[in-house]
Structure 1
């Protein structure tokens, strides 16, 4: 998932913003739970996307570590049937000297 956000410590990041990507790996036992081809037996990808988008677009933090941790807690609260979640949050166009594609943080949580 990709978003244009205003997260960061530096004034340039807060003013100009940058691309932020989120990968969400959800652990849910579909082999046991999804037996009737019924959306109510699983977790809706559309709902998860909307939860992530609403969070990312309506919250700004200095640290992407805070983005990752707070989003992880939001998803665990919103989807109690998910057993575990791993999030990878990548930020592009970071205003520091050096050659790199992005900065990435990974967090995980489970029940």
Structure 2
């Protein structure tokens, strides 16, 4: 099993059900776990034999620019876009944390986590 991780990617974006969330915005923290075969790259030392985490990061940033009401919708778009660009990926887990949700009390954030196994079509 080979994995690529992007950890604590911090992006300012405008998602939420409440109108003010789409105007004010807040920071989001994104964590991604991607399963693919990295052994060819481990032998060749060639970027063409792996999946560039720079490209994955770019997809995440581009999808986070598109306003959505639900973080589930954002995560689903990111997962499908990453897999569309890199069909050799077998599994993706994505966690998005809204750092300042409009709720009572102090908290580090509110998160959703979405995962998809492309080998099992679930």
TM-score by length of 2: 0.84
1:69 and 1:17 map into 2 onto residues whose CA distance is 20
Higher relative contact order (CA 8 A, sep 6+): 1
Within the alignment, does 1:56 sit opposite 2:64 as a pair? Answer: yes
Asked if the contact 1:86/1:108 (under 8 Å) is kept, the reply is yes
Unaligned runs of 5+ in 1: none
More divergent stretch after superposition (39-48 vs 94-103): 94-103
Count of matched residue positions in the alignment of Structure 1 and Structure 2: 109
Asked if the contact 1:5/1:56 (under 8 Å) is kept, the reply is yes
1:64-105 CA-to-partner distances (Å, cap 9, x unmatched) read 111111211111111111111110111111111123110111
Pick the aligned partner of 2:26 from 18, 34, 57. 18
1:45 and 1:71 map into 2 onto residues whose CA distance is 14
2:38 and 2:32 map into 1 onto residues whose CA distance is 16
2:116 aligns with 109
Pick the aligned partner of 2:37 from 29, 32, 38. 29
Q: Map 1:68-83 to 2 at 5 A.
A: 68-83=75-90
Unaligned runs of 5+ in 2: 1-8
TM-score by length of 1: 0.91
Superposed CA RMSD in Å reads 1.1
1:98 aligns with 105
Moved over 4 A (4+): none
Asked if the contact 1:12/1:95 (under 8 Å) is kept, the reply is no
